[in-house]
């Protein structure tokens, strides 16, 4: 039976851990051909090996989403290996949380570069291929932080809301041949907290994760649901959060 995803070629950024890794494993398990992209190549190779051992199809590509040439190369390799690209999942993200008046300008720039420009670079790399094919699907991983604004999350939420805006704008601009979906996870068990510079923010987010975080596979299942729909069906936005999250 056609499950709506078998043999689709899917590129996934930030695929070395967390949500990106789960998306790769879940989609490969349903028969997709996955192209895993991240900077941590050792982790990527381990995931690709595990997928292959389970009978799936996967390759890894070293890529930094803040470098446009890397994203172009990612798409070129995907097409060279599998002959096409059906889905671009813009998942890579960082969070350097702090009060705005603390003026962590370096943290702001990192979030803008990865969370916003990285998504735009992914879209820019995939779009010409989708236009030539007459079909394609962009999936942008956003965040519930942009839905409920909280102290210390102002700039992070701003980058995520920018992605939400451009996702909806593209949906309205598209003639339907290229679909786009925004998925906003709530608290998910990932490495996000461990990479935060601010000790207070790191401890606070880690506490949320310890008490309520969803498994990354729940988000991966939402991605599968969105891209498995028939071509005439577009899932515009999904919000996936723990049932106890405010």
Confidence (pLDDT) at 211 = 72
Q: Which residues contact 102 (CB under 8 A, 6 or more apart)?
A: none
CA distances from 224 to 23, 37, 45, 93, 148 (A): 8, 18, 22, 20, 25
Q: Is residue 202 part of a domain?
A: no
Portion of the chain with pLDDT greater than 70, in percent: 93
Given 82, 108, 121, 156, the catalytic residue: 156
Evaluate if residue 194 carries a pLDDT over 70. no
Q: Is residue 112 part of a domain?
A: yes
Domain tally for the chain? 1
Evaluate if residue 40 carries a pLDDT over 70. yes
Mean pLDDT on 175-197: 85
Evaluate if residue 140 carries a pLDDT over 80. yes
What pTM value is reported for the model? 0.93
Q: Is residue 14 part of a domain?
A: yes
Known catalytic membership, residue 224: no
Q: Is residue 91 part of a domain?
A: yes
Q: Is residue 193 part of a domain?
A: no
Q: Sorting pLDDT into bands at 50, 70 and 90, what band is 212?
A: confident
Q: What is the CATH number of the domain that holds 168?
A: 3.40.50.720
What's the domain range around 15? 9-186+216-234
Q: Is residue 56 part of a domain?
A: yes
Say how many C-beta atoms besides its own lie within 10 A of residue 50's C-beta: 15
Separation of alpha carbons 120 and 127, rounded Å = 10
Q: Is residue 241 part of a domain?
A: no
> For 67-86, how does the pLDDT look when each residue is reduced to its tens digit (9 = 90+)?
999 999 999 999 999 999 99
Q: Is residue 1 part of a domain?
A: no
Mean pLDDT on 26-38: 98
């Amino acid at each position: 039976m056609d499950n709506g995803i078998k043999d689709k070629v899917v590129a996934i950024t930030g695929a070395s851990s967390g949500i990106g890794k789960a998306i790769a494993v879940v989609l490969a398990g349903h028969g997709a051909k996955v192209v895993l992209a991240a900077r941590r190549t050792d982790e990527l190779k381990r995931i690709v090996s595990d997928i292959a051992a389970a009978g799936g199809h996967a390759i890894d590509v070293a890529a930094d989403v803040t470098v446009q040439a890397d994203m172009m190369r990612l798409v070129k390799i995907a097409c060279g290996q599998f002959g096409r690209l059906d889905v671009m999942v813009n998942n890579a993200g960082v969070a350097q949380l702090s009060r705005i008046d603390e003026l962590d300008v370096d943290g702001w720039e990192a979030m803008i570069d990865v969370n916003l420009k990285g998504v735009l670079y992914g879209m820019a790399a995939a779009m010409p291929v989708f236009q030539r094919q007459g079909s394609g699907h962009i999936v942008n991983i956003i965040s519930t932080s942009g839905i409920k604004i909280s102290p210390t999350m102002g700039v992070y939420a701003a980058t995520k809301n920018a992605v939400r805006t451009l996702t909806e704008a593209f949906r309205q601009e598209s003639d339907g041949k290229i679909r786009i979906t925004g998925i906003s996870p709530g608290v998910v068990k990932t490495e996000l907290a461990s990479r935060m510079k601010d000790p207070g923010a790191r401890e606070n987010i880690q506490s949320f994760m310890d008490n309520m975080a969803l498994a990354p596979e729940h988000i991966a299942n939402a991605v599968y649901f969105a891209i498995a729909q028939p071509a005439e069906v577009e899932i515009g936005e999904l919000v996936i959060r723990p049932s106890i999250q405010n």
